[in-house]
């Protein structure tokens, strides 16, 4: 059957309409995704940015006899209620350690109570009328103001919102990731090397391959249960430690690294291998001196992305006890620690409203680190990738 010219042009019009409709639908999808992203960022920034500022008050500290027992006695009673307890409770400790302080006075800026902070930021607070007047007067005299919140970046968790910081969690993340990387990277790369370059292609290796691909898709909480059963209950690795957290996350990251490494190895053209074999290299020499260096950028990219994924993970770490309250700054593989996403999780459950901005602030820091890591992965790929 032959088509007339009209039939064909009508068909063409229809097909063009279809393709332009598809184009608009996909653009709409992209726009929607972009809109969600913008809304998310706007919400996080508007809630989180205030966390980077904190109210401080200038007070006169009078190291008298009463202050040896009750820190509050060292301060003017009018402002003592406005000063953070994290500062007050340390006055007796400081006087015990430095007896010569007794009888001296000192003027300095100290952390204000979170209610003062919330009041100055215009959020809900519980200050009484007279306390508000005192704060207003202090602001007038330049003795109270919002300053950059170094505490947030330089201290661990606290029950008092004004003193809560993310450093302990950030260090915990670093230690955990060190463990994860030092286990998952060598084991993952070596496994991929064996499967790709040495292993024969038989039923067994096919089975292993299918299993590795499956492992990459398993819900992460199962790795937490595995970590609890094997590392903690069987091997007795200390609970809540970066060691057990890192080992658990290494299990989760392994398949990602193996798959990325295999893809990178496969993209190295066979002509390189043939040439090396041709001049008499052994299989190991070919892999070590030629294939591996060429595949390295791909391997690094895959590993960084795997690491970034592990870094944002909370579920398996809850199971191995890494959602702990850690006010001390410490660097250790075996002591209890927490990680950034777990810290965010903890703050999100606090009843005190001042923790809302801490939660959003913590999310901003975590996002910044993840964006940095992913950008590094992209840069590495751009810089070193070779097309054949």
Partner 1 sequence: MNRILKSRTLKTTAIAAAVIGVVGVAQARDQIRIVGSSTVYPFASYVTEEFGAVTNYPTPVIESTGSGGGLRLFCNGVGDNTPDITNASRRIKVSELERCIENGVTDVTEVKIGSDGIVLAQSSTNEAIELTLEQLFMAVAAKVPVDGELVDNPYTNWSEIDASLPDREISIYGPPSTSGTRDAFEELAMEVPSEEMEAFGGEGYTEVRSDGAYIDAGENDNLIVQRLSEDTGAFGIFGYSFLEENPDALIGTAIDGVAPEPEAISAGDYPIARSLWFYVKNQHVDAVPPLYDYVDMFVSETMIGKGGYLSDLGLIPLTEAEREATRNKVEERTSLQLSDLQ
| Sole binder of partner 1 in the list 27, 30, 39, 93 (CB under 8 A) | 93
Stretch that binds partner 1, among 16-24, 53-61, 230-238, 269-277 (CB under 8 A): 230-238
106, two tokens? 């000192």
**Which 3 state secondary structure label does DSSP give 19?**
helix
Q: How far is the CB of 200 from partner 1 (least distance, A)?
A: 25
301, two tokens? 């990219």
What interhelical angle do 242-266 and 167-193 show, nearest 10? 40
Residues binding partner 1: number (CB under 8 A): 41
Distance of alpha carbon 83 from alpha carbon 76, whole angstroms = 10
The nearer residue to partner 1, 200 or 280, going by C-beta atoms, is 280
181 contributes a contact to partner 1 by CB under 8 A: no
Q: Which of 135, 126, 118 is nearest to 51 (CA)?
A: 118
147 contributes a contact to partner 1 by CB under 8 A: no
Q: Which residue in the block uniquely carries the two structure tokens 């009078």?
A: 62
209 contributes a contact to partner 1 by CB under 8 A: no
Stretch that binds partner 1, among 55-63, 169-177, 182-190, 361-369 (CB under 8 A): 182-190
Instruction: Give the x/- contact pattern for partner 1 in 258-297, rule: CB under 8 A.
Output: ------------------------------xx--------
Instruction: Give the x/- contact pattern for partner 1 in 52-91, rule: CB under 8 A.
Output: ---------------------------------xx--xx-
Q: How far is the CB of 110 from partner 1 (least distance, A)?
A: 15
Q: How far is the CB of 349 from partner 1 (least distance, A)?
A: 5
Distance of alpha carbon 265 from alpha carbon 297, whole angstroms = 10
Q: Which of 102, 58, 100, 53 is nearest to 82 (CA)?
A: 58
Query: What contacts 24+ positions apart, CB below 8 Å, involve 283-287?
Result: 283/197, 283/198, 286/197, 287/193, 287/197
Strand 53-62: give its sheet, edge to edge.
105-111, 53-62, 144-148
The nearer residue to partner 1, 16 or 73, going by C-beta atoms, is 73
172 contributes a contact to partner 1 by CB under 8 A: no
Name every residue whose Cβ is closer than 8 Å to that of residue 388 and which is 6 or more positions away in sequence.
267, 269
Q: What DSSP character marks residue 192?
A: H
The nearer residue to partner 1, 292 or 373, going by C-beta atoms, is 292
Q: Which helix (H) or strand (E) holds 357?
A: helix 355-384
Stretch that binds partner 1, among 204-212, 305-313, 316-324, 363-371 (CB under 8 A): 316-324
Cβ atoms < 10 Å from Cβ of 315 = 15
| Sole binder of partner 1 in the list 52, 352, 369, 381 (CB under 8 A) | 352
| Sole binder of partner 1 in the list 174, 183, 222, 296 (CB under 8 A) | 183
Stretch that binds partner 1, among 26-34, 129-137, 178-186, 263-271 (CB under 8 A): 178-186
The nearer residue to partner 1, 312 or 327, going by C-beta atoms, is 327
What interhelical angle do 242-266 and 203-215 show, nearest 10? 120
243 contributes a contact to partner 1 by CB under 8 A: yes
Q: Which residue in the block uniquely carries the two structure tokens 């593989």?
A: 333
| Sole binder of partner 1 in the list 195, 247, 300, 304 (CB under 8 A) | 247
186 contributes a contact to partner 1 by CB under 8 A: yes
| Sole binder of partner 1 in the list 333, 370, 374, 376 (CB under 8 A) | 333
The nearer residue to partner 1, 288 or 382, going by C-beta atoms, is 288
C-alpha pair distances (Å), 68 with each of 74, 79, 95, 203, 320: 9, 19, 6, 76, 41
Distance of alpha carbon 323 from alpha carbon 308, whole angstroms = 19
348 contributes a contact to partner 1 by CB under 8 A: yes
The answer to whether 339 touches 169, Cβ cutoff 8 Å, is: yes
Binding residues for partner 1 (CB under 8 A): 85-86, 89-90, 92-93, 124, 158-160, 182-183, 186, 235-240, 243, 247, 288-289, 321, 323-328, 330, 333-336, 348-353
């Amino acid at each position: 059957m032959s088509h007339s010219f009209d039939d064909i042009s009508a068909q063409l019009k229809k097909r063009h309409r279809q393709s332009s409709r598809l184009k608009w639908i996909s653009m709409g999808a992209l726009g929607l995704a972009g809109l969600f992203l913008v809304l998310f960022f706007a919400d996080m920034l508007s809630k989180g940015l205030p966390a980077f500022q904190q109210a401080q008050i200038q007070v006169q500290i009078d190291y008298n006899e009463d202050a040896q027992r009750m820190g509050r006695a060292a301060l003017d009673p009018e402002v003592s209620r406005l000063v953070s307890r994290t500062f007050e409770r340390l006055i007796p400790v400081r006087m015990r350690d430095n007896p010569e302080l007794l009888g001296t006075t000192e003027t300095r800026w100290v952390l204000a109570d979170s209610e003062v902070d919330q009041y100055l930021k215009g959020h809900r607070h519980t200050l009484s009328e007279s306390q508000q007047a005192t704060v207003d007067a202090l602001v007038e005299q330049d003795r109270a103001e919002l300053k950059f919140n170094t505490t947030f970046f330089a201290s661990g968790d606290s029950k008092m919102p004004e003193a809560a910081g993310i450093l302990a969690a950030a260090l915990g993340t670093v230690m955990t990731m060190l463990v994860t990387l030092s286990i998952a990277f060598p084991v993952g790369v070596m496994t991929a090397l064996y499967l790709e370059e040495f292993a024969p292609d038989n039923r067994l290796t096919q089975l292993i391959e299918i299993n590795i691909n499956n492992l990459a898709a398993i819900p992460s909480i199962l790795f937490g249960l595995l970590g609890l059963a094997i590392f903690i209950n069987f091997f007795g690795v200390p609970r809540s430690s970066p060691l057990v957290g890192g080992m658990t996350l290494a299990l989760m990251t392994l398949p990602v690294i193996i798959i990325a490494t295999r893809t990178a190895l496969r993209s190295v053209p066979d002509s390189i291998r043939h040439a090396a074999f041709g001049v008499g290299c052994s299989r190991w020499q070919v892999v070590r001196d030629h294939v591996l260096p060429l595949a390295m950028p791909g391997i690094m990219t895959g590993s960084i992305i795997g690491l970034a994924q592990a870094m944002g993970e909370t579920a398996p770490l809850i199971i191995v006890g890494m959602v702990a309250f850690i006010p001390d700054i410490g660097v250790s593989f075996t002591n209890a620690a927490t990680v950034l996403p777990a810290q965010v999780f903890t703050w999100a459950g606090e009843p005190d409203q001042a923790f809302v901005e801490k939660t959003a602030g913590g999310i901003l820091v975590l996002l910044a680190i993840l964006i940095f890591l992913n950008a590094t992965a992209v840069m590495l790929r751009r810089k070193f990738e070779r097309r054949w």
